[in-house]
């Protein structure tokens, strides 16, 4: 999984609780991303950060928050405001090289909220 | 709305056959495309990429073809093996923003 770690692999929470998903990379990549994947669906962008201390909303940011205090870390908090939080969450990082870039993904965290 | 889609949600092939997975995109400004492979319960794995100034790019057992006229992208896998069974996603970068847009994926099943 290219030097990106996500923990834990499985996470269970009760409805109404906030939960933070960890993402760490040792690839020295500037950009980091959070995606959500639902069964049989593609990946949808939640938040992304192209540099430390800066991040932007993706297509489905409502109910989520992030921070980027360190280059190697980009934690995602799923708040109680997220109406359908149960999903597979994927973190990624990328670096530009000569006009192209590869976006490497972590192994994912499967969050179940009941 | 989603600008990248797939022609078929599933594809079943015999081991040793060649596989072709197709993808249509609608954003003519997209200049960079990537194919990913995702095995069950894992994160997507980069396979191959192509920029819009190319029509074809080859890797190990894989070839990506880009037809900008009809906004079509395909992934060809030669001599498909059981280990190739996975969901394959195409992704595009509209306008070089490094924000990828993903298609829904095609599930490839390789029968021994």
pLDDT of residue A96: 77
Tell me, rounded to whole angstroms, the distance of Cα A59 from its chain centroid.
Answer: 13
b/e B9-26 (16+ beta carbons within 10 angstroms → b) = eebebeeeeebebbbbbe
What six digits make up the tokens of A64? 């989520």
Chain A positions in Cβ-Cβ contact with residue B90 (cut-off 8 Å): none
B71-91 pLDDT, tens digit each:
999 999 999 999 999 999 999
Write down the pLDDT at residue A1. 46
Distance from CA of A44 to the nearest CA of B (A): 7
Parallel, antiparallel or unpaired: strands B19-25 and B4-6 = antiparallel
- Distance, in Å, from the CA atom of A111 to the CA atom of A14, rounded to the nearest integer, reads 11
Residue B1 has pLDDT above 60, yes or no: no
Q: What tens digit of pLDDT does each residue of A64-82 get? A: 999 999 999 999 999 998 9
Q: Say if residue A2's pLDDT is above 80.
A: no
pLDDT of residue B3: 45
Window B:41-80, CB contacts with A under 8 Å: 41-46, 49, 51
Mean pLDDT of chain B: 89
What percent of chain B has pLDDT above 90? 71
Q: What is the pLDDT of residues B48-67, one digit of tens each?
A: 999 999 999 999 999 999 99
Q: Which residues pair with B91 in a beta bridge?
A: B34, B102
- Cα distance between residue B86 and residue B109, in whole Å: 7
Q: Taking CB atoms and an 8 Å cutoff, what residues of chain A touch B41?
A: 108, 110
- The minimum CA-CA distance between A79 and chain B, rounded to whole Å, is 23
Tell me: the pLDDT tens digits for A11-47?
A: 999 999 999 999 999 999 999 999 999 987 789 999 9
What percent of chain A is predicted at pLDDT more than 90? 81
User: In this predicted model, what pLDDT tens digit does every residue of B86-104 receive, in sequence order?
Assistant: 999 999 988 767 788 888 8
């Amino acid at each position: 999984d290219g030097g990106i770690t996500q923990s834990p692999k499985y996470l269970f929470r009760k409805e109404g609780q906030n939960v933070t998903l960890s993402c760490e990379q040792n690839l020295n990549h500037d950009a980091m991303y959070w995606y959500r994947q639902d069964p049989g669906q593609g990946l949808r962008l939640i938040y992304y950060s192209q540099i430390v201390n800066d991040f932007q909303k993706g297509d489905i940011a409502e109910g989520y928050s992030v921070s980027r205090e360190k280059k190697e870390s980009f934690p995602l908090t799923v708040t109680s405001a997220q109406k359908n939080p149960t999903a597979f969450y994927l973190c990624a990082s990328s670096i530009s090289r000569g006009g192209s870039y590869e976006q490497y993904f972590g192994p994912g965290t499967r969050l179940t909220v009941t | 709305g989603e600008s990248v889609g797939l022609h078929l949600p599933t594809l079943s092939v015999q081991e040793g056959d060649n596989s072709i997975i197709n993808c249509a995109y609608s954003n003519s400004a997209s200049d960079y495309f990537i194919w990913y492979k995702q095995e069950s319960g894992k994160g997507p794995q980069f396979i191959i990429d192509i920029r819009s100034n190319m029509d074809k790019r080859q890797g190990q057992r894989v070839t990506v073809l880009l037809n900008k006229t009809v906004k079509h992208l395909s992934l060809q896998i030669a001599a498909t093996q059981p280990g190739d069974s996975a969901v394959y996603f195409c992704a595009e970068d509209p306008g070089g923003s490094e924000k990828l847009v993903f298609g829904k994926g095609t599930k490839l099943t390789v029968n021994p």
